[in-house]
């Protein structure tokens, strides 16, 4: 009877094992060329270390993927005098920082054959050193857990944040699986940036600073320099498309306003003052004023003033040949008319046509124009 119970127990155990095998999810084979390891500085700052293999590795599961980190020499001060004396003696001249990185990648059920695994190690520049300059770095020793390799390895690429080295990890069999590991001793030193001539990445305008960006030809780090706003002067500038010469001002809120100085084509039969002119920086300014003697010796028989103009300076049309002046306004018709603005024209009879305003607004403006116009001027 006991034998029967024992057989039943064994049979039940076998059934349970078989059931577990069938019920367990199948592990899917994966292939990768880059393994990202978690690492941490003594201060608690976490960072990532990458190892990119030259050829893809197939595996079913990553059991461990970490990177140890230790600070050995900082600014020439040996933080562990009793450890790694031979390695420290090999620090190149001028390299005053030494760190140890210990990648450890444990792969379950992999096709990798034990031996060297060639690839690229990429590390961030350590944050423990509060230096503003970028770094030069060298691997001065690769201890693959079996042998110390003292071949100095220079970086394969450097950015303002990371440094990469072409090197290797040793893959060793461990419990039927493969463990990749090594201890890299990397010496750092700050280097002097060699900046290129710089590129204007943002143009300066009359309202905003520009930006010039420089790039270090050694490490690729960039820096920026402010290009001051363009200076606003009282000198007249030209807008060829608008055929106008003008001065301009920039208000604190960045609004640009222009004063019409004179037309650049004085022989045109008709001339319209532009509502807006293009500034040298490519922005625009609204024409709000007409300067004194703006149309002196201008041959245009018809001149149109846009509704953006709110002030006409004294003697603005003195010496003009205009027979018709069209004064456009908004509904309010508020335009400041300077003394003698429409007097001493070359034509004996000039007509000023006011459009845009009506009623009392037009009457008030007409009265202002007549007061500052020659006696033979008609105001409509």
Q: DSSP states of 233-258 as a string?
A: -SS-EEETTTTEEEEEEE-TTS-EEE
Flag whether pLDDT at 128 surpasses 70: no
pLDDT at 26 > cutoff 70: no
Residue 226 to residues 195, 279, 358, Cα–Cα distance (Å): 16, 21, 51
Query: Is 257 within 8 Å of 247 (Cβ atoms)?
Result: no
The kind and range of the H/E element at 143 are strand 135-143
Distance CA 209, CA 174 (A): 62
Q: Given this model, what pLDDT does residue 325 score? A: 94
* pLDDT exceeds 80 at position 19: no
Beta-carbon contacts of residue 135 (< 8 Å; ≥ 6 apart): 125, 158, 163, 188, 189, 190, 191, 219
Question: The whole model's pTM is what?
Answer: 0.53
238 or 3, which is more confident? 238
What's residue 180's pLDDT? 96
Predicted confidence at residue 135, as pLDDT, reads 67
131-145 CB burial, b ≥16 within 10 A, e <16:
eeebbbbbbbbbbbe
**Cβ–Cβ < 8 Å for 349, 378:** yes
Structure confidence at residue 23 (pLDDT): 44
Mean pLDDT is lowest, of 10-19, 52-61, 207-216, for 10-19
- Mean pLDDT, to the nearest integer, of 151-164? 88
Q: Which residue has the higher pLDDT, 126 or 65?
A: 65
**Range of weakest confidence among 127-141, 169-183, 298-312:** 127-141
CA dist 156 and 189 (Å) reads 16
Q: Grade residue 221 by pLDDT with cuts at 50, 70 and 90.
A: confident
Q: How many Cβ atoms from other residues are within 10 Å of residue 376's Cβ?
A: 11
- The answer to whether the CB of 243 falls within 8 A of the CB of 268 is yes
Counts for the chain of helices (H) and strands (E), in that order: 3, 27
Q: What is the mean pLDDT of residues 206-219?
A: 89
Q: How far apart are CA 129 and CA 102, in angstroms?
A: 19
Most confident by average pLDDT, 10-14, 70-74, 133-137, 229-233:
70-74
Most confident among 17-31, 218-232, 306-320 (mean pLDDT): 306-320
- Summarize the confidence of residues 354-362 as an average pLDDT: 94
pLDDT of residue 75: 84
**What's the pLDDT score for residue 96?**
87
What value does the mean pLDDT of the chain take?
88
pLDDT exceeds cutoff 60 at 321: yes
pLDDT exceeds 50 at position 299: yes
pLDDT digits (tens, 9 = 90+) for 243-282: 889 999 998 888 899 999 999 987 889 999 999 999 988 8
């Amino acid at each position: 009877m006991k034998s029967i119970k024992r057989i039943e127990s064994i049979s039940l155990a076998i059934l349970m094992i078989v059931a577990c095998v069938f019920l367990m999810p199948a592990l899917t084979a994966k292939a990768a060329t880059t393994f990202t390891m978690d690492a941490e500085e003594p201060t608690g700052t976490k960072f990532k270390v990458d190892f990119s293999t030259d050829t893809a590795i197939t595996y079913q599961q990553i059991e461990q993927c970490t990177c140890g980190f230790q600070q050995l020499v900082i600014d020439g001060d040996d933080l562990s005098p009793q450890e790694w004396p031979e390695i420290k003696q090999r620090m190149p001249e001028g390299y005053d920082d030494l760190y140890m990185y210990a990648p450890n990648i444990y792969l379950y059920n992999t096709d990798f054959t034990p031996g060297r695994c060639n690839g690229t190690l990429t590390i961030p520049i350590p944050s423990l050193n509060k230096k503003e300059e970028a770094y030069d770095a060298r691997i001065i020793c690769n201890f693959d857990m079996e042998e110390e390799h003292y071949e100095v390895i220079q970086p394969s690429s450097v950015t303002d944040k990371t440094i990469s080295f072409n090197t290797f990890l040793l893959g060793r069999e461990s419990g039927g699986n493969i463990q990749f590991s090594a201890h890299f001793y990397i010496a750092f030193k700050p280097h002097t940036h060699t900046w290129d001539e710089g590129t204007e990445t943002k143009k300066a305008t009359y309202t905003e600073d520009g930006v010039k960006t420089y790039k270090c030809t050694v490490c690729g780090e960039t820096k920026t320099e402010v290009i001051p706003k363009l200076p606003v002067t009282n000198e007249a500038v030209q807008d060829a498309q608008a055929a106008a010469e003008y001065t301009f001002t920039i208000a604190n809120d960045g609004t640009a306003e222009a004063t019409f100085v004179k037309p650049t084509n004085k022989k045109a039969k008709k001339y319209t003052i532009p509502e807006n002119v293009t500034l040298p920086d490519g922005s625009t300014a609204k024409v709000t004023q007409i300067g004194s003697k703006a149309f002196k010796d201008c041959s245009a028989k018809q001149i149109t003033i846009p509704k953006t103009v709110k002030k006409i300076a004294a003697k603005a049309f003195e010496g003009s040949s205009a027979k018709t002046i069209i004064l456009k306004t908004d509904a309010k018709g508020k335009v400041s008319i300077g003394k003698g603005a429409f007097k001493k024209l070359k034509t004996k009879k000039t007509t000023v046509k006011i459009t845009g305003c009506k009623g009392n607004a037009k009457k008030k403006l007409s009265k202002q124009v007549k007061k500052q116009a020659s006696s033979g001027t008609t105001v409509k």
